[in-house]
Structure 1
Amino acid sequence: MGPIFGVIQLELRVKILDRENLKTDLHCLPGEDLRLQVRLSVASAEVKWFKDGEKIVDSGHTHLEEQGSLRALLLLGAESGDSGEYLCVTSDESCGFYVTVEEPPVTIVDKEDVQNTSAVLEGEEVTLTVRVSEPTAPVRWLRNGQQLSLGARFQVSSEGPARALTIRQAEITDSGNYTCRTTGDELHFSVQLPWSLFHSQPLVSAPRCVEFLSELHNVTVLEGECATFKCVLSPEDALISWQLNGSALTPDAKYIMSRNGLCHSLSIQQCRIGDGATVTASAEGAVTKARLRVQEAQVLFVKKLQNVIAEELEDVILEVEVSVEGAEVQWLKQGVVIQPSNKYTLETSGRRHVLRIHNITFSDRGNYRCESLHDKTQARLCVDARKVMLRTPLTDMETYEKETVTFQLELSHPGVEGVWTKDGIRVKPNNKFRVSANSCLHSLTLSAVTLEDSGSIVFTADNIRSCARLTVREPPVTIIKKSQDVGVPETVGARFECELSRAAAEVKWYKDGKEMKPGPHCRIYSTGRRRIVQLSHCRLEDAGTYTCDAGDCTASATLQVYEREVKILKELEAINIQEGDNAVFMCEVSPQDVRGDWFKNGENLKSTNRIKIRQEGSKHFLLICDIQMEDAGEIVFRAKKAMSRAPLTVAELPVRIVKQIRDKTARLKNRVLLECSVSKPHAQVRWFRGHTQLCPSEKYEMYSEGTCQRLIISNVCPEDEALYSCHTLHDESSARLMVEDL
């Protein structure tokens, strides 16, 4: 019993390449097309796309594309609902994309047509109007930089793209700067209320009382938290300003100011140690202050180290995430602080801290720890001997002489030394063989190959073995000289010839796509590199396209056969003949080798026992034997387009009575038969009783059978006794019928 081998089929691990350069945070405007794309390590691998956990399929809005190793998801005409998390999943890995479909900025249109300054009197009504670019977009109205509180006197309205603010029963305190603000634009108005024209003297208003009903309080927060200061200010329309260490604040992403009736607040986002300061709120002489204190936050590990098992010579990443952005941490191995070097790379990005260990060896095994001032985390690194696997095996190659061919395979690890052999002999690099290795790729290139280079190629490394077959073929046959189009008259020969690049090549000849075979009319042969088809005595049906097929290439040419002109030298002559005789028609044409056809009353005649057709040189004969009446008609001879006609007239033979009628005696009420025979079968006859012609009825029955003509008289009575006769056109016969009583 022979050796038994086990075959293990290894599936290639499908990886997403170049992940560090992938743009995973994507933004676009509504209506734009957006493309999400990855490149795989295996070109034939399949991927699945998901959005927020639901599988995506091809549709009019989403389109899945595959091109080589690229896999892409195309969002056509993005909508706001397309925002979310997208996931590309292979059999081994996945990659996430975050898509945001941003609303387009809303602008204020026709600003130049807006009246920005309005002067009104107390008690009057004023309306401020703008038009925005998006009919459904919201707007905010502000007075002197503060959100405007709506009520019975301040009303807003919208109609399509128009937005309006109406101030009813205007008061002196309504004077100021009004702003209409959208997400991407704003427009300012100035409203002025002069003293009433009806007052004879200027009005003197008493100073109003502005006071803080609830003052600011000191706030202490941890680093990274938000600090909020609140106060209550009366009256409601009093304007408040905020200061930090005496410097005026303006609203932005860090400093958020808000108002709700009498309540005012200032929120300071993402507080830092250096943000500790005095916060001041002032309004028309009223002032309140408070102190902001920021304490250092504890640096805790929100993502701890995980144990890692890796193969030697790989790069290992140990990663943690801390609770405070920018916090300092320290890496240690077996209690010894790790410093950046060729072996170790320390990276920090926000709250993420990474330790990269390059080209690990067994000496890198052990416990690794990351410490902050308030927390620590530890994990163990285990190093296994590397297991070299074959990712992409060698494939069989087929090429032509003098070409260059490259065998290539991919291993799971870079830097692996291998050996190439051809037909069991180790390959040594020279002018013909070139061996190269680039990372995981190993290749063998053969230059200017010959037929003798065909054989087996083997690559071996560690426990890896991959084989392939090299097949070298002769260069493809080409047609050096193609056959030319040919035009010949009928009966003349034609020749098609092609010259090939190689003498030993086989070809096939085709006419109109059907393979040709040698025959009496067609000769197919070859001479050296020439391939020839010879046609003799060309006919009209030989016209067409003739193709020489050499397998790798073809050449075609057309044959035109010109029809010869046929002339009638002697026309057909009319024949008047008697029934039963023979008729001979003769027509003479030129040229003499042309074929012709005979027709009678439009029906093509063929040779039979009675009809004989023959040709003697230029003369064509038609013989019709034993002429019958139905042979009469027009005889036509046609050769090509030439035609001759002549009538055939048949004279009928006289019908004679060859067997006379005999006298008969019949009894009353019986039937009696009178019969005679004529010279022609089925001849037309008439029966008479005396001089009266008889017609078929219940009394008389007449019929013929061949040459026999019969008359049957039924239910004989005394009145039937008479002389009966049978008449043809040329003869007659009579007999007497006598009737006896019973």
Structure 2
Amino acid sequence: MDFVVPLEDVSVPEKKQAKFECTITKDVAKVMWYRGADIITPDQKYDIIDDGKKHILIINSCEFDDEDEYTVEVLGKTSTAKLTVEGIRLKFITPIKDQTVKEGNTARFELELSHENIPVTWFRNDVKIHPSRTVLMHVDGKKHVLEMKDVTLDDTCQIKAEAKGIPSMANLTVIEGDAYFTIKLQDFTALEKDELVLECELSKDVDVLWYHNDNEIKPSKGVTVRAEGKCRILSIKRASKQDKGQYVCDCGTDKTTAALNIEARHIKVVRPLYGVEVFDGETARFEVQISEDDVHGQWKLNGEVLSPSADVEIVEDGAKHTLILYNCKVPQTGEVAYAAANAKCSANLKVKEIPVSFITPLSDVHLYEKDEGRFELEISREPKNFRWLKGSQELSDDDKFELVVEGRRHALVVKSARYEDEGKYMFEAEDKRTAAKLVIQGIRLEFVKPIKDVTVKERETAQFRVELSHDNVPVVWYKNEQRLHPSKVVHMSEDGKLHTLAFKEVTIDDTAMIKVEAMGKTSEAMLTVLEGDSYFTTKLQNYTAVEKDEVSLVCELSKAVAEVKWFKDGKEITPSKDISIQSDGKKRILTIKKAAKSDMGEYSCDCGTDKTTAKLNIEV
């Protein structure tokens, strides 16, 4: 035995399939595979295929850790080759580190990768982080930075940076600091007799003092001061010119200031708001221009006043007023309203679901009959509705199909595939579809019970049986590599998976190698015929002769060394002047030199364990 085609080195991209293949000179049912010195057995990582003289090792979804030398061993001989996995061997040169900061300060996380131009995704408690007014992301070659400004106690979390599936994690701990204003007062312009509300919010619940033009404000009939949790609210019921000025809210460790303008004039909208449509997670921008450049306005979304925050930015540039909404979500869909004195306008914000798309669409599946087939895909987001179809028929979990959902990954498992399962399979999510074919390559035939050596005596029946793994598979029988055909002494039968070959009345010459072949696979066994008792292989034949002719009665034994006796009509014949008895190898011959009417009768040749008889007729 030797290798016709030995193993060759294999190089594949990361996550792809590697295949080592060899061909040997002799059919061997099974070989041993090794990774280094470790024996390989079939599992999710490895598939082993033995196909006569060809033997294959398949390594699925290759990782860098799979690089090694792989060896096949057959009957004491080996062949070795090396697996190389291609791709970027990315690693964190400097991972992110735990940060502890006080409320109101900036938390900064830095990392350095081994390669440039590698995108990094940041997560907060496994939720993807998007840039906003308080969240900044920087990239400088291999270095990546995440900055979180004005942090609060609620920002305590786990931060994760992920690059090409490799994570680096650190904890952000925000400790309590001095009280400060998380939402500050905003400049505002109102009309006389309007009700005014000045609001701010603290990082913690502490007492505050309100001031108007440096004079402490005391609650009165027209002015109320109240606290709602961390919110501090100053309300003026009917604004007048004397309420104009600077307002301050002071908590002792921080203060916030706003200018209040009271106008009697008429403010007009020069350029109104226009509706905006964005996808979930995108940024929406609204702009309005009013007739005056020294008037402060107020923005509302679905009736609620907006203040600057991580996802809300408000810009006043003279007469132009801008609202920027970061990381928009579908529930925010509704009316955006702007008001500055008596100038008011509104427009609609529509936040749409990101369209479904297939990150990994379906691909064709090729497999053997009775194997398990698996269609897999990855979708961009969890769809509102989805279904699997074969042709136009919707599929559900049953004995034949299993529907698997793992987050954004979906799979359809086809159990014990048959030819009738072939066809086009489709995954439909909302208004998007992906399809692939299931192709049955054939059956993976195995000899459940191969043929076995048989030893019989001469004249007995030798029988060989083989059981296959599948029904309706034709087999071919061989004797010493010569194909056998049914005959008087050779019988072949089939019963489902069971196939039988029978030799009747075997002789010593029938000793041979018997082989059965099915779909290129073979099984061999030895037929051994042992010597038995003597018997007649060629029997006497009835004969009609003419008077005075020489008559020879001939028969043949299974052995050359065997004594016989001749009889006529039951009486033993002895040689005489007219009758001779001869032996020629296995042949036994009785000769009557001149046949006469008296020689008519029944002649027998008896070897003790067998007898042959024939009639002799003499004509004139």
Per the normalisation by structure 1, the TM-score is 0.29
Per the normalisation by structure 2, the TM-score is 0.34
Structure with bigger strand share is: 2
Kindly name which structure, 1 or 2, has the bigger radius of gyration based on alpha carbons: 1
